[in-house]
A and B are shown apart, each in its own frame.
Chain A
């Protein structure tokens, strides 16, 4: 029997779940901000290689790249560890969510699956990317162009880019609805905004990749 007693156990309830959720959201938000700045940096090449070089130089001269880079890497790792708690890893759970999503025809549920899937891609490719760039400082437009034009790097970015932008766009939307910053009435609008945002960023990224590709080395 559940008993009549309404008093709750005296022990301090565990706050762990709450702290982890905060951290997951904050690391996610931090990464979003980073990706937006990152976009400014990289896309500046479209305004001319010199512009990009200047911005890159500014980051290095202030040691922001040398210190910030690894911090971003660490943040991503932390974010991954936190968010991974939510990713289905037993085959039973994977089966359940997959069957469920196929049955439901529900956009937000699919978006979550996309988020979980892109996360895996980002984990691997993002790490490689960060490693490559950070072990090969300074950043210059010329070096980047060279990289993009060698080997599989072009394809690499063509895969990574949409994954990142989808993950970021969905993550942005999800933070706002999960924490109640956007109300029921604002959800539709936010959805539309998120789609536009993702689209625009992918477009700018594509233009940037093409620019690197065509930049004379």
Chain B
């Protein structure tokens, strides 16, 4: 009943002068409920201890294990082998810098991008420990949470043709993140300030609507909708200033 799985895995260790980019093949017997997390660890423990890949939570919640699985970026820990053909090809995510084999440096990329888009609540208020919290509608809290669910796995970035062509494109993740802050009344940024961050060709106007982001996002974030809303919002902000050229951004 159990299949012999054939794994074709991209190999390259940039720190090893003797290593060249290549594909290695491993064969493994499939077991019930086997995920790529189980399979890769078995390969490392039983066949090749130098194999590099990243897992942390192994429950699709930390975003560590993004890789290209038979051509599609996805989370390895949440991929059941029984949903794949017997031959499985694994490659590291493109766009990000390679650490080795299937492991890429998403940390630096996301930190840089989050800094660029200023991914935090902007407010000039001070926290007062003696005062009860500001009220918020529960529905709004849920709506914010819905967009906050991104785990920065990088799949949307790796799957995006634009991001693959243009290094400076911030990717769907960042546009979704900005949409989250725009929903949040605690963030006092003005329209113009948001525009500054994403109303550019590196931001929402760089997106060509390829929608691979939407199709691969393991958290099923509503990226298509958020990108559309954001493009419209930014589009209209630009028109407004066309008719009111004096309106300056208050910082």
Asked if A and B touch directly (CB within 8 angstroms), the answer is: yes
Q: Which residues of A contact B (CB under 8 A)?
A: 2, 6-10, 12-15, 17-22, 85-86, 88, 93, 96-97, 100-101, 103-106, 108-109, 112, 174, 177-181, 183-184, 187
Contact status of A10 and B251, CB under 8 A, knowing A18-B235, A177-B228:
yes
Contact of A101 with B222 at beta-carbon distance under 8 Å, contacts A15-B199, A17-B200, A86-B208 already known: no
Instruction: Identify B225's interface contact among A14, A88, A183, CB under 8 A.
Output: A183
Instruction: Tell me the interface secondary structure of chain B in the complex.
Output: helix
Which one of B37-45, B52-60, B127-135, B241-249 is at the interface? B241-249
C-alpha spacing A173/B199, complex, angstroms: 22
Residues of A within 8 A of B71 (CB): 103-105
B contact residues, total (Cβ < 8 Å): 51
Whether the Cβ atoms of A106 and B215 lie closer than 8 Å is yes
In the bound complex, residues from chain B placing their C-beta under 8 Å from that of A174 are 208-209
A-B contacts, 18 of them at CB < 8 A, read A6-B118, A14-B200, A17-B200, A17-B206, A88-B165, A97-B161, A97-B164, A97-B165, A100-B164, A103-B71, A109-B161, A112-B210, A177-B228, A179-B232, A180-B225, A180-B232, A184-B214, A187-B211
Residue of A nearest to B239 (CB): A22
- Answer whether A177 and B209 are a contact pair too, CB < 8 Å, given A8-B193, A15-B242: yes
- Say yes or no for B23: interface residue by CB 8 A criterion: no
The answer for the CA separation of A181 and B229 in the assembled complex, in Å, is 9
Tell whether B75 is near chain A: CB-to-CB under 8 Å. no
Q: B159: which A residues are within 8 A, CB to CB?
A: 104, 106
B196 contacts the other chain (CB 8 A): yes
Contact B214 A19 (CB under 8 A): no
Least CB distance, B66 to chain A, in whole angstroms? 14
**Residues B72 and A104 in contact, CB atoms below 8 Å apart:** yes
Tell me which residues across on chain B come within 8 A of A112, comparing CB atoms: 161, 208-210
Which of B122, B161, B231 has the most chain A CB atoms closer than 10 A to its own CB?
B161
Q: Which 6 A-B pairs have CB atoms at the shortest separation, nearest pair first?
A: A180-B228, A18-B238, A178-B209, A13-B196, A17-B205, A21-B205
Query: Closest approach, in angstroms, between the C-beta of B159 and any C-beta of chain A?
Result: 6
Does chain A have a CB within 8 A of B212?
A: yes
User: Is B7 at the interface (CB under 8 A from chain A)?
Assistant: no
Most buried by B among A10, A21, A93, A112: A21
Most A C-beta atoms less than 10 A away, residue of B72, B120, B201, B207: B201
A180 close to B68 (CB less than 8 A): no
Residues of chain A contacted by B193 (CB below 8 angstroms): 8
Asked if A9 contacts B200 (CB within 8 A), the reply is no
- Supply 19 further A-B pairs (C-beta < 8 A) apart from A12-B249, A103-B94, A105-B72: A2-B115, A8-B251, A10-B249, A12-B248, A13-B195, A15-B241, A18-B205, A21-B231, A96-B164, A100-B165, A104-B71, A108-B212, A174-B208, A178-B208, A178-B209, A180-B227, A180-B229, A183-B225, A187-B211
Complex: A105 Cα to B74 Cα, angstroms: 14
Closest to A13 in B: B196
**B211 proximity list for chain A (CB < 8 A):** 108, 177, 187
What is the CA–CA distance of A41 and B9 in the complex, to the nearest angstrom? 56
Q: Which residues of B contact A183 (CB under 8 A)?
A: 224-225, 228
Partner of B68, one of A6, A8, A18, A103: A103
Shortest distance in angstroms between B197's beta carbon and chain A's nearest beta carbon?
8
Q: Does B102 contact A (CB under 8 A)?
A: no
Q: Which residues of B contact A8 (CB under 8 A)?
A: 118, 193, 196-197, 249, 251
Task: Give min CB distance, A66 to chain B, whole Å.
Answer: 32
Asked, given contacts A18-B199, A18-B238, A106-B215, whether A178 binds B248 with beta carbons under 8 Å apart, the answer is no
A179-B195 contact given A17-B205, A93-B165, A108-B210, CB 8 Å threshold: no
Residues 117-164 of B at the A interface (beta carbon under 8 Å) = 118, 120, 122, 159, 161, 164
